[in-house]
Amino acid sequence: MKVTVVGAGAVGASCAEYIAMKNFCSEVVLVDIKEGFAEGKAMDLMQTASLNGFDTKITGTTGDYSKTAGSHVAVITSGIPRKPGMTREELIGINAGIVKEVTENLVKHSPEVIIIVVSNPMDTMAYLVHKTSGLPKHKIIGMGGALDSARFKYRLAEALEAPISDVDGMVIAAHSDTGMLPLLSKATRNGVPVTEFLDEEQQKYVIEETKVGGATLTKLLGTSAWYAPGAAVSVMVQAIACDQKKMIPCSLMLEGEYGQNDICLGVPAIIGANGVEKIINVTLTAEEQLKFAEAANAVREVNGDLKF
Ligand SMILES: NC(=O)c1ccc[n+]([C@@H]2O[C@H](COP(=O)([O-])OP(=O)(O)OC[C@H]3O[C@@H](n4cnc5c(N)ncnc54)[C@H](O)[C@@H]3O)[C@@H](O)[C@H]2O)c1
Ligand SMILES: O=C(O)C[C@H](O)C(=O)O
């Protein structure tokens, strides 16, 4: 399995590192526009191979997409991250052009590729890849829900004073500060609804902290996060590489599901060798349905700023 990661910055390198550490891919190609940067990151990572015990071959290239030819999966992390005080949506002006150009180069050299979109504003960037790549819809997957769900579980474990391995939960809808929808009604501790343990104030805290999870880290770090984003991508790549048929919330093109059309939004899906194998329709409460529709309206407005 050959995987290309475009953007050898914080998220791209973290993603390559986690993929290599899990040792399920033969080859990872890092691509960046900054001269020598991807080559340097690849060399540094390869020098951890004997220490960390992996056989994945990591190479880097400055913009030579012929080196990416025949990739099964490509991850797009190229683009600028936000700074404290910014929203993800403010990145559209610069990142849309980058994502469009990168997509064209990827598809030219790997026409069968499955693309995982990471660059922000991610739901809109995933939509852009649908509109410009010519790939079938099951081959375009936005990464947001996997990360947001991991942050939800972190906050749930904190509030429950429980180990994270006791906790399960999922975040759907938009990957934005306001449009995330943590499904508290379905979150559990060892199968018991968390609503049986947490009072209203604690529930509100968990939901609000989950939604601003990315902004909180951006404020602390001065740029956005990379460890959990890289790990979340590696889980998705592994689900494809190992045909795991894992249920992961991803930003996918909706055609009637959840009452939405012609929009990419986070919904649970089965991810396997073919990319998106099935979108899962979970029953939402009336309040959740309303919030999902509000998130869709906001993403649709951002999509309106795209020029194809
Ligand atoms: N979807 C998510 O959950 C999620 C999570 C974290 C970060 N992000 C987004 O991922 C993106 C990258 O974040 P980061 O922290 O890694 O930023 P970064 O600045 O560390 O890395 C981005 C890299 O992209 C490269 N790049 C720019 N234009 C390019 C091009 N045309 N071709 C190839 N490479 C190019 C840059 O040189 C840089 O090395 C940002 O847009 C950020 O908002 C999304
Ligand atoms: O918060 C950001 O801007 C980056 C990313 O989307 C995240 O959630 O960490």
pLDDT over threshold 90, residue 67 = yes
For ligand 1, say whether the CB of 60 is within 6 Å of any of its atoms: no
For ligand 2, say whether the CB of 211 is within 6 Å of any of its atoms: no
Q: Is 130 a catalytic residue?
A: no
Q: Tell me: the pLDDT tens digits for 221-261?
A: 999 999 999 999 999 999 999 999 999 999 999 999 999 99
Domain 2-143, architecture per CATH: 3-Layer(aba) Sandwich (3.40)
For ligand 1, say whether the CB of 75 is within 6 Å of any of its atoms: no
In terms of Cβ atoms closer than 10 Å to its own Cβ (0-12, 13-18, 19+), residue 91 is: buried
The residues facing 249 across adjacent strands are 268
For ligand 1, say whether the CB of 91 is within 6 Å of any of its atoms: yes
CA of 77 to the centre of ligand 1 (A): 4
- The ipTM assigned to this model is 0.99
- Whether the Cβ atoms of residue 179 and residue 294 lie closer than 8 Å to each other: yes
Substitution site in 4, 32, 75 for ligand 1 pocket (most atoms within 8 Å of beta carbon): 32
As a whole number, mean pLDDT of residues 27-37 equals 98
| Residue 267: C-alpha distances to residues 63, 121, 181, 241 (Å) | 33, 17, 10, 21
Domain 144-305, architecture per CATH: Alpha-Beta Complex (3.90)
CA of 121 to the centre of ligand 2 (A): 9
Q: Tell me: the pLDDT tens digits for 121-146?
A: 999 999 999 999 999 999 999 999 99
Answer yes or no: is 119 a known binding residue.
yes
CA of 79 to the centre of ligand 1 (A): 4
Q: Tell me: the pLDDT tens digits for 75-97?
A: 999 999 999 999 999 999 999 99
Substitution site in 88, 94, 211, 299 for ligand 2 pocket (most atoms within 8 Å of beta carbon): 88
**Ligand nearest to the Cα of 85, by number:** 2
Integer Cα distance of 119 and 80 in angstroms:
8
% pLDDT > 90, the chain: 99
Of all atoms in ligand 1, which is nearest to the CA of residue 232? 3
- Whether the Cβ atoms of residue 121 and residue 89 lie closer than 8 Å to each other: yes
Answer yes or no: is 9 a known binding residue.
yes
Domain ranges for the chain, please list them: 2-143, 144-305
The per-residue pLDDT for 308 is: 75
What is the DSSP-derived secondary structure letter of residue 242?
A: T
Integer Cα distance of 149 and 169 in angstroms:
6
Q: Whose CA is nearest to atom 5 of ligand 2?
A: 214
The residues facing 267 across adjacent strands are 250
- What is the total residue count of the chain? 308
Of all atoms in ligand 2, which is nearest to the CA of residue 82? 3
Quick one: residue 243, left, alpha or beta (phi over 0 = left, psi -120 to 50 = alpha)? left
Report if pTM > 0.80: yes
Answer yes or no: is 31 a known binding residue.
no
Confidence of residue 25 (pLDDT cuts 50, 70, 90): very high
CA of 302 to the centre of ligand 2 (A): 17
Substitution site in 15, 118, 120 for ligand 2 pocket (most atoms within 8 Å of beta carbon): 120
